[in-house]
Amino acid sequence: MILDGVRVLDPAAPTGPAVLVVEGGRVVSVTAAERPGPLDGLVVTPAFVDAHVHATATGLLADGLDLTGSPSPRTLLDAVAARAAARPGSLVWGHGWQEQDWDGLPSRAELDRAAAGCPVYLSRVDVHSALVSSALLDRAPGAAGAVGFTDGPLIADAHHLARRAALAAVDTTTRDAAQRAFLRQAASRGVGVVHECAGPDISSAADLAALIAARPAGPRVVPYWGEAVTSVDEARDLIAATGAHGLAGDLFVDGSLGSRTAALREPYADAPGCGHPYLDAAQVAAHVAACDAAGVQAGFHVIGDAAADTLVAGLKAAGPLRMTHRVEHLEMVDAAQMATLAALGVVASVQPLFDAWWGGKSGMYAARLGGARARPMNPFAALHAAGVTLALGSDTPVTPVDPWAAVRAAVGHRTPGSGLAAATAMAAHTVGGHRAAGDLSPLAGRLVPGAPASYAVWDGRRCVRTILDGFSIHGAPAVADFAP
């Protein structure tokens, strides 16, 4: 395959129009074009890596209730009522509501009236709390007595039990269709690899197995399972049972700021309490030590500053590490902690659109924490300067799979001085994603001779072709586009 006249975005590529030659699933050469070629104006990037996704939950929104931007509780209840009337007795799955500008939250009684007997699960945008109907709670024994049970949104353990019940109500045909829809969507946005962050509190082993089996539908899936272990044998057995690449991803040390379950050193500015820790430093240390000795990648979900304290204390207690481990989100981290993470070779999987959506002087983070604590959040520039490898992702369905939007958000951080240079952000969304999965090859995520032929072709912001290891996963092959 010869791509003549394209602009190749790789640090080693010519700055102007180039000729990219691919053969046998590998890049053969990238040279400057001597004259304008037939593909002049198109841009080629390495295929992006989304380092944190939830495939089924995202795909279910193709036929679920997308509550993003709902202006009021009334709008949410009306959407539930319309869906319940159209599909009596069926699960109503929805996602994306945010209550910052609402005049309150709907009660369970109000949701039950709208649901007309349907089981209803409506996750907040951060997926760390949910509004649920009584009919769903009937399918979740123990939720009513669990930590985090309220008449309004469920959090913590109560939420996890309700979510399991909601996912159990999704039949396999619907689940498989949702996963395929997600993979097609990701491929259409120039993504060649996704890191699925599964686990017992976010999905299920059956869900992960189905996604692994669905791989031919699109991007390569790097599967993670977020469940803590205490021994080498446990780590190896769990990897064998789940087919996971590592015991990482959404292994929760804490929750989220939006649901007020992120673990903080000091109380929230807009509500009592310091959040909800799930693991302590000893549990973090035991998990990391067991995984490292078993040759298994470990990792954790960490958002609040108290959770970052727990993470770093646990990593230090685990002793010398030989594997590349990872941490998700890492939104509140100080300079000393950054230095420790860099010294240990821990990769930070971060989501720039979190800052774009909720950062800034008047954003949700400032409301939850106050401006002084919110301002230094998501310190991408400082993490990079400290030597921490960054991998960009979406945490979809929390924010959408949109690599260019993520790169722009990383560059245009809402706190001056915290953004990345454009080339650094691009590298974090390509090379960094491979490193987050433990692939330290200098060719991974690059468009240089010998590298895998994994790339995306762009006409402006539209992805016209995504190639993974020489095979098209988006865009039908056409001789008119790419002359052999």
Give Cα separations from 72 to 76, 104, 170, 325 (angstroms): 7, 9, 27, 41
For residue 478, is pLDDT > 90? no
CA dist 109 and 120 (Å) reads 12
CA dist 293 and 320 (Å) reads 10
Is the CB of residue 156 less than 8 Å from the CB of residue 34?
Answer: no
**pTM of the predicted structure, to 2 decimals:** 0.96
Per-residue pLDDT of 263-280, as tens digits, reads 999 999 999 999 999 999
For the segment 54-63, the average pLDDT, to the nearest whole number, is 96
Per-residue pLDDT of 90-148, as tens digits, reads 999 999 999 999 999 999 999 999 999 999 999 999 999 999 999 999 999 999 999 99
Q: Kindly state which CATH superfamily the domain 2-47+446-474 is placed in.
A: Urease, subunit C, domain 1 (2.30.40.10)
For the segment 174-187, the average pLDDT, to the nearest whole number, is 96
pLDDT of residue 483: 41
Question: Which residue is listed with tokens 């991803």?
Answer: 249
Parse the chain into domains and list their residue ranges. Answer: 2-47+446-474, 58-168, 226-436
pLDDT of residue 482: 46
pLDDT level of residue 33 (50, 70, 90 thresholds): very high
For the segment 50-59, the average pLDDT, to the nearest whole number, is 98
pLDDT above 90: percentage of residues in the chain = 95
Per-residue pLDDT of 298-327, as tens digits, reads 999 999 999 999 999 999 999 899 999 999
**Residue 106 preceded by cis peptide, ω within 30:** no
Task: Give the fold, CATH level 3, of 226-436.
Answer: TIM Barrel (3.20.20)
For the segment 246-266, the average pLDDT, to the nearest whole number, is 98
Residue 198 parent element (H or E): strand 191-198
pLDDT of residue 430: 98
User: CATH number of the domain at 58-168, please?
Assistant: 3.10.310.70
The candidate with the shortest Cα–Cα distance to 197, out of 84, 55, 65, is 55
pLDDT of residue 480: 39
Give Cα separations from 124 to 67, 222, 330, 392, 433 (angstroms): 9, 26, 20, 22, 27
Give Cα separations from 20 to 30, 90, 190, 426, 484 (angstroms): 5, 51, 17, 19, 11
